Amino acid sequence: MNKMVEAIVSRIEQNVVEWRRDFHKYAESAWTEFRTTSIIAQHLEQLGYEIQLGKDILKDEDRMGLPSETELSEHYQRAMNQGAIEKYLPSTKGGFTGVVGILRCGEGPVVGMRFDIDAVDMKESDSADHRPVKEGFASVNDSAMHSCGHDGHAAIGMGVAVVLAELKEQLKGTVKLVFQPAEEGVRGAKAIVGSGILDDVDYMFASHLGSGTPTGILACGRGNFLATDKFDVFFTGAPAHAGGAPQKGNNALLAAATAVVNLYAIPRNSNGATRINIGRFNAGTGRNVIAPSAHLAVETRGQTTELSQYMYNYALRILENAAAMHGCSIKLKAMGGAQSGKSDEKLVQRVYEVAQKSNIFSEIYTEPGRGGGSEDYTYMMTRVQENGGLATFMGIGADLGGWAHHTAEFDIDEAALSKGVQIFSLMALDILG
C-alpha cells in the first residue's frame, strides 16, 4: 500500500506544488473563495467524485462574519476575471463557497477529511527577496494573501483526491473530502456541520502545515484548542448638542468605554485559562455632538467550551449593563466561533502506527502540544465524536524560513505538501482498505 501511494504521489508531486502556487497567486479570503472552489470542484468531478456545493453543504444562518454584499459581488466578478470555472459558480453566489467531494466505494465506514481553503485579509510583501515574488506567484489580489498555508491545505486535498480515486478498487466505504471556506476568524466550520454533511462520518481528519514545526515532523493529534466567540457589539444612544443640551443625549461612546474597561476586569476562572480582547472601538460623529453610536469588536476564549461560555456570558452582562447606565441599547452580531477540542487517543495512535511504517516523517509525536490558538475544525471533531466516531487534528511540519503565520513574508516549504498527501491517503487506505 505504501509503495502504491508513494508512486502516485511522486508522479503528482509537481502538480500539487503548481496547485498551491495557483491558489497562492489568486488568493481569496473568507466567503469569497469563488475561484478556488470552482477549480477544486472541477478537479473532483473529473476524478469521478460526486460533488456537493452551496446550500447543500452550508447552513445559511450558521455562516459567520460574512463580508458585505458589495464585497461579495465584487469578488465574484473578480473570480470570473481570474479564470474561475463558470459551471460551478452559480451555487457559490452570495458567499456559499467551499465544496465536498464524495467517493463511494461500497459498504464500509465513512472517512471525512477537512481541508481549509481561505486566505487572510492582508497584503503580501512585494520585497524582491520574497520567494513568491521572485518566482512569480505572489498574490495579485491586494486584500488577500495566503499567509497561513491554506493554499497548501487545498493543494494537499486535491492530491489526496487523485490518490484515492486511483486506488478506489482497494477501498471499502465512503470518503468525504471537505474543502472548507472561511477558517480564518473561525467562521466557516459551524455552517458545514449545520448542513448535516458530516453526520455519518466515522473517522475525521484535518491538519495544519507549519505552526512552529519544521518539515519532517508529524504531530499525530494536536489538541488544546481554545474555544472562542467573536462578536461585534453595536451601541445605540441619542445625539445632542454637547454645549447646548448634553443632558438630552444618550452617550454611546461613554457606554462603550465603560464596557471596555469592565470587560478586561472579568475575574479569572480557577477551572482554567481564559482570554478576552477588544480589538477595535469606533464611536461618535463629531466633536460637539454627544456620540449616538459605538462599535466594539470583541473576542472571548476559554480552555474549554464551558470556560469560553463563562467569558461570553459575563461579557454580555457587562455590555448590557454598561449600555443601561447611559440609556443606550446594544445589538450583538456573531462574527465567528469555535469550540475546544481534543483528538481521540485511539485515532492518534493509529496515525502514529501508519506513519511509523512509512518513511515519510523523520520525527513523529503523539503529544497534543501547546494550546493558545483556536480552530473551527473543533465543530467537526465534536460532531463526529458526539455521534460515536473518532477524530484527530494532525500537525504537518513545514519550514517557514523564519517567518510567522499571518505575516507579509510568510511562505511554506513545498516539500511538506507531498508528505501531507501521503499521510492523509495512507490513513484513508488504512481505515477503508
Per DSSP, helices labelled H in 63-210 are: 69-81, 131-134, 150-166, 189-194
Stretch that binds Zn ion, among 34-42, 54-62, 141-149, 192-200 (CB under 5 A): 141-149
CB of 148 or CB of 204, closer to Zn ion: 148
In the complex, least distance from residue 210 CB atom to Zn ion, rounded to whole angstroms: 9
Residue among 131, 42, 148, 59 at smallest CA distance from 95:
59
| CA dihedral over 371, 373, 376, 377, signed as positive or negative | negative
Residue in 417, 7, 430 with CA at minimum distance from that of residue 215: 417
In terms of residues, how long is the chain? Answer: 433
Residue 8 within binding range of Zn ion, rule CB under 5 A: no
- The piece of 9-17, 142-150, 234-242, 356-364 that touches Zn ion (CB under 5 A) is 142-150
**Closest distance of CB 178 from Zn ion, Å:** 15
State the minimum distance, in angstroms, from the CB of residue 378 to Zn ion.
13
Give the residues across from 24 on adjacent strands: none
- Enclosing H/E stretch for 279: strand 274-283
**Cβ proximity to Zn ion, 206 vs 319, nearer residue:** 206
Of 8-16, 145-153, 352-360, 380-388, the segment contacting Zn ion by CB under 5 A is 145-153
Stretch that binds Zn ion, among 143-151, 198-206, 260-268, 323-331 (CB under 5 A): 143-151
Give the interface segment with Zn ion, choosing from 50-58, 144-152, 307-315, 418-426 (CB under 5 A): 144-152
CB neighbour list of residue 64: distance below 8 Å, 6 or more residues apart: 182, 185, 186, 187, 188, 190, 191, 230, 334, 335, 336, 337
Restricted to residues 59-118, the positions that interact with Zn ion (CB under 5 A) are: none
List the interface residues with Zn ion, window 18-57 (CB under 5 A).
none
CB of 23 to Zn ion, least distance (A): 14
Answer yes or no whether residue 122 interacts with Zn ion by CB under 5 A: no
Considering CB under 5 A, how many residues would be counted as binding Zn ion?
A: 1
The answer to whether 148 contacts Zn ion (rule: CB under 5 A) is: yes
Residue 116 and residue 153 in contact, taking contact as beta carbons nearer than 8 Å: yes
Q: Any idea which residue has 509537481 for its cell?
A: 14
Interface residues with Zn ion (CB under 5 A) are 148
